[in-house]
Amino acid sequence: MTDPIQQFVNERWEQSIVPTLCDYIRIPNKSPAFDPDWLANGHMHKAVEMLRDWCGSLDIEGLHCEMHALPGRTPVLTCEIPATPGGKGNVLLYGHYDKQPEFAGWENGLGPWEPVLRDGKLYGRGGADDGYALFGSLTAIAALQAEGMDHGRCVVLIEGCEESGSFDLPFYVEALSDLIGQPDLVICLDAECGNYEQLWVTTSLRGMLPGVLEVQVLTEGQHSGAAGGIVPSSFRLLRSVLERIEDAGTGQLHPSLYVDIPDSAREQLTAVAAVLGDTVTSRFPWVDGAHAEVADNVELLINNAWRPSLATVGIAGAPPPADAGNTLRPGTSAKLVLRLPPTLEAEGAAASIKAELERDPPAGATVNFALETPQTGWCAPEVSGWLAQSLERASARAFGKPAMYMGMGGTIPFMKMLGDSFPGVQFLVTGVLGPNSNAHGPNEFLEIATGKRITACVAHVLADHVRKG
């Protein structure tokens, strides 16, 4: 028998959500870290206004949507839905509408700002990360009301700064504290899924420590023949400074960045490895001959969820090879992003790493590590009995398979913020970012069938939230 909730959700996705997501993808509303002139450019306001207008088309009893814009800060969108007559409890549903930059390498016919529907996938920047969150959250509530089912009071909060570390969000949380209230359940639709075959629940998130490392040797470039052998290369000095926090041979990072890994996390990730098998590594687009440096899938999953990692995501100070003259460059800069274990306090880690990089500058060079916004990770509290049972039923109903639990390698700053503010609150953190979906990179896509199923799962969890003891 067809689930009426799923049927409602499927129709709403096809008739309204997918077309509106296409319009949303066309807006280049890059997060403020990647568009310092976001306010003047107007893309952020255009995106949030488009989302607000869509909300006005919904048949949800009591729905009140409002855009909030504090001076100089990216706007947020809130939607408040009162509890049905038989409803109880308070639910906060979270997502974000800001986007990562374009990135290079999109396939022919695909691009960041032009939506393409192909083989059940919607390609384009921001559809999966995280434009669908508002649509999925409100559609789940609309489905319950259409079926005459109860739900508690719901507040949907969609921010515009998540991809930049959510530095605007604390100001809105304070300003909107009366609206947010005291949630007893938080639902976040901005996470990964290990496959597209079942509901995946995120149990931890790593923290993040971003910053720019700069090594300056000269005030201006010099002929490499005249200066070579006398003036040290800024690139080599940068490499030597980086070696202090990352062993280039092994990938091991500074000892201050590691924590003890809970047995429960190992048990979860062992179960995940058994389900995912070789897709733990095969989901990535390796060049011929390249492979992971560890053969054990459990260890690879633990590396991703509970150990630190370093990515050099940008380099400045050098021209493209085609334009490179025989010139010894005055300096080199690298944008570093360290991912931190979920329980490691980010501010302390940031101070330690900054001190290590800047101490005893080699050859007397100017060395500076300009920190951005360090973010501490998050661990979910133990899942309560009612929620565990609800997740199993929802996954079985929507996917035909049991729910899976795993730690995620990314960062969602708001989860830590909420966990600290509301001790004991229950979390459902899930999402559509499965194999090859490639958020932040080229060819990002939203797997539409998974979006539909997750929306239905959220509806069923909201219904069970009312019925819990």
Q: What is the pLDDT of residues 368-380, one digit of tens each?
A: 999 999 999 999 9
Q: State the DSSP code for 228.
A: B
Q: Given a cut of 90, is residue 422 above it in pLDDT?
A: no
Is residue 302 in a domain?
A: no
For residues 311 and 420, membership in a common domain is answered with no
Strand 90-96 relative to strand 200-205: parallel, antiparallel, unpaired?
Answer: unpaired
pLDDT at residue number 2: 79
Residue ranges with strand state E in 56-161: 64-68, 76-81, 90-96, 116-118, 121-123, 153-159
For residue 357, the one-letter residue type is L
Q: Given a cut of 90, is residue 155 above it in pLDDT?
A: yes
Q: What is the mean pLDDT of residues 12-25?
A: 98
- The last residue of one of the domains, among 371, 388, 412, is 371
Read off the pLDDT of residues 257-316 as tens digits, 9 standing for 90 and up: 999 999 999 999 999 999 999 999 999 999 999 999 999 999 999 999 999 999 999 999
Global pTM value? 0.93
Is residue 236 in a domain?
A: yes
Q: How many CB atoms lie within 10 A of CB 362?
A: 14
CATH classification of the domain holding 72: 3.40.630.10
Give the integer Cα–Cα distance in Å for 78 and 73.
Answer: 15
Token pair for 163: 């991809």
Query: ∠124-126-129 over CA atoms, to 5°?
Result: 125
- What percentage of residues in the chain have a pLDDT greater than 90? 96
pLDDT at residue number 168: 95
For residues 25 and 135, membership in a common domain is answered with yes
pLDDT at residue number 98: 98
Token pair for 246: 């990352």
Residue 208 and residue 199 in contact, taking contact as beta carbons nearer than 8 Å: no
Give the integer Cα–Cα distance in Å for 31 and 208.
Answer: 16
For residues 201 and 343, membership in a common domain is answered with no
For residues 316 and 445, membership in a common domain is answered with no
DSSP line for 186-215? EEEE--B-S-SSS-EEEEEE-EEEEEEEEE
Is residue 93 in a domain?
A: yes
CA dihedral 59, 64, 65, 68 (to 10 degrees): 180
Give the integer Cα–Cα distance in Å for 455 and 17.
Answer: 11
Is residue 301 in a domain?
A: no
Burial class of residue 276 (count of CB atoms within 10 Å of its CB; 0-12, 13-18, 19+): buried
Is residue 251 in a domain?
A: yes
Residue 102 and residue 114 in contact, taking contact as beta carbons nearer than 8 Å: no
For residues 94 and 123, membership in a common domain is answered with yes
For residues 313 and 410, membership in a common domain is answered with no
- The last residue of one of the domains, among 342, 371, 400, is 371
pLDDT at residue number 424: 85
User: Which structural domain range is residue 459 located in?
Assistant: 4-205+377-467
Token pair for 324: 């490179």
Average pLDDT over the chain, rounded to an integer? 96
- The last residue of one of the domains, among 321, 347, 371, is 371
For the stretch 371-396, what's the b/e string if a residue is b when 16 or more beta carbons lie within 10 angstroms of its beta carbon?
ebbbbbbbbbeebeeebeebbeebbe
Q: What is the mean pLDDT of residues 99-105?
A: 96
CATH classification of the domain holding 329: 3.30.70.360
Is residue 298 in a domain?
A: no
For residues 197 and 77, membership in a common domain is answered with yes
Is residue 49 in a domain?
A: yes
Token pair for 262: 């809970």
For residues 394 and 460, membership in a common domain is answered with yes
For residues 212 and 155, membership in a common domain is answered with no
Give the integer Cα–Cα distance in Å for 151 and 278.
Answer: 40
Q: Given a cut of 70, is residue 197 above it in pLDDT?
A: yes
Is residue 289 in a domain?
A: no
Domains held by the chain: number? 2
- What percentage of residues in the chain have a pLDDT greater than 70? 100
Q: What is the mean pLDDT of residues 178-194?
A: 96
38-47, 61-70, 234-243, 412-421: least confidently modelled range: 412-421
Which residues does 343 contact at the CB level (< 8 Å), separation at least 6? Answer: 259, 377, 379
Token pair for 398: 């929507």
Residue from 431, 436, 435, 432 nearest 446 by CA? 432
Read off the pLDDT of residues 113-152 as tens digits, 9 standing for 90 and up: 999 999 999 999 999 999 999 999 999 999 999 999 999 9
Q: Given a cut of 70, is residue 1 above it in pLDDT?
A: no
For residues 317 and 448, membership in a common domain is answered with no
Give the integer Cα–Cα distance in Å for 100 and 102.
Answer: 7
Q: What is the mean pLDDT of residues 149-168?
A: 96
For 218, phi then psi, to 5°, come to: -125, 165
Residue from 374, 418, 380, 411 nearest 206 by CA? 411
For residues 431 and 449, membership in a common domain is answered with yes
Q: Which residue bears the tokens 């733990």?
A: 280
Find how far residue 27's CA is from the centre of its chain: 19
Q: 421 falls in which pLDDT band (50, 70, 90)?
A: confident
The separation between the first and the last C-alpha atoms of the chain, rounded to the nearest angstrom, is: 28
For residues 367 and 446, membership in a common domain is answered with no
